[in-house]
Amino acid sequence: MKVANSLTKTFVGFAAAALVLTGCAASETTSEPEESSTDNSGGSSSEIAGETITLTVGAGHPAGGAITYTNRMESWFVPELKARVAAETNHELEVIEAYGGSIATLAEVLGATETGLLDVGAIIYPFEPSNLFLHNLEMKIPFSSTDPEIAIKAMRAVYDEVPYMGQVLEDDFNQKVLGLWTTGSYHLVTTFPWENFEDLAGRTITAAGPNLPWITAAGVNPVQGNLGEWYTGLETGVIDGAVMFPEATAGFKLYEPAPYYTEIGFGASPQGAITVNLDTFNSLPADVQEILVELGVEFEAQIAGWVKEEGGQAYDTMRAEGTTINSLSDAARADWANRLPELPNQGAQEANDLGLPGSEAFRVYIRAQEELGYEFPRDWVIED
């Protein structure tokens, strides 16, 4: 933290090669602020008049487009943070926003937040399959609830009942969870019409990676892919379809080369969290810490509603553009689910073998959805 007549925390950007843009390294001086007349009850720096705080907030996905959580970080989280700091404290706050990989790509946000390149980052579990193996549990429980409200509450139950989920981020990755976020339900967009399960056999279908096992039962040729490359792949015929939620399907205009969208109902995906670097958090005045925590809780409480809103807009866009939208019947959905191996139990046992509370976490996520009124199309049994 650099001090002149005020305290300023600044991150200086720098570029790195190899297709990765990184930046904003912290700098400090050893000068000390003038002593204030505050007490020692904690957070005394909040009483220093004229303090200016600079925070870097970022995510791997771009904002203002296809992905709800980054849209709302830009349009709600950051404006609210600025407004509340201005209204409720005597500090000045400057926020550097870094979305779309300008500081950290999708697979780098966890590390960038750990080191302080980002003060506040939106981590994505599927891009951390090793570091956050257990956090990816929802990717291993297909045909979960399609309602993002149920999904986010079920994941919160996992965090509340399995302390490892939040503690490992603090202990191993130097960051504190402020709030969880979710997407809408994953479905299937294709370049061809289909009606029966067998119609998919032999087709090349892409997905992000952890969810590829969802589609293997259909006899497809599964290919891990990057969402940013799917439009071209669909247009050129390299791939025949993609597993994606409606917000991104419309946002990336996948409906143009692939005008058939089938609601499979693989489930809404609470696949990430907004976190804050622990060193940054601990250096902040107590009143600013409180605001960050409050905003994280409120962001999590509202994200499902935002996803539903943007999902509805996505469907309107696709229909207006002539997309054929169909829904898998309950019977066909159950048939698909029953053709899959015991993916949840396999994931739980893999986690157990890594010394993680796998069975406990998987059971909580399944049970929490059922307690919220969701009925799975098949029973997923989790062994000890």
As its CATH architecture, domain 2-30+47-182+270-311 has 3-Layer(aba) Sandwich (3.40)
Q: Three-state SS string across the chain, please? A: CEECCCEEEEEECCCCCCCCCCCCEEECCCCCCCCCCCCCCCCHHHHCCCCEEEEEEEECCCCCCCCHHHHHHHHHHHHHHHHHHHHHCCCEEEEEEECCCCCCCCCCHHHHHHHCCCCEEEEEHHHCCCCCCHHHHHHHCCCCCCCHHHHHHHHHHHHHHCCHHHHHHHHHHCEEEEEEECCCEEEEEECCCCCCHHHHCCCEEEECCCCHHHCHHHCCEEEECCHHHHHHHHHHCCCCEEEECHHHHHHCCCCCCCCEEEEEEEEECCCEEEEEEHHHHHHCCHHHHHHHHHHHHHHHHHHHHHHHHHHHHHHHHHHHCCCEEEECCHHHHHHHHHHCCCHHHHHHHHHHHCCCCHHHHHHHHHHHHHHCCCCCCCCCCCCC
- What is the value of pTM for the model shown? 0.86
Tell me the pLDDT of the chain (384 aa) as tens digits: 333 333 333 333 333 333 333 333 333 333 333 333 333 333 333 334 557 999 999 999 999 989 999 999 999 999 999 999 999 999 999 999 999 999 999 999 999 999 999 999 999 999 999 999 999 999 999 999 999 999 999 999 999 999 999 999 999 999 999 999 999 999 999 999 999 888 999 999 999 888 999 998 899 999 998 898 999 999 999 999 999 999 999 999 999 999 999 999 999 999 999 999 999 999 999 999 999 999 999 999 999 999 999 999 999 999 999 999 999 999 999 999 999 999 999 999 999 999 999 999 999 999 999 999 999 999 999 999
Domain residue extents for the chain: 2-30+47-182+270-311
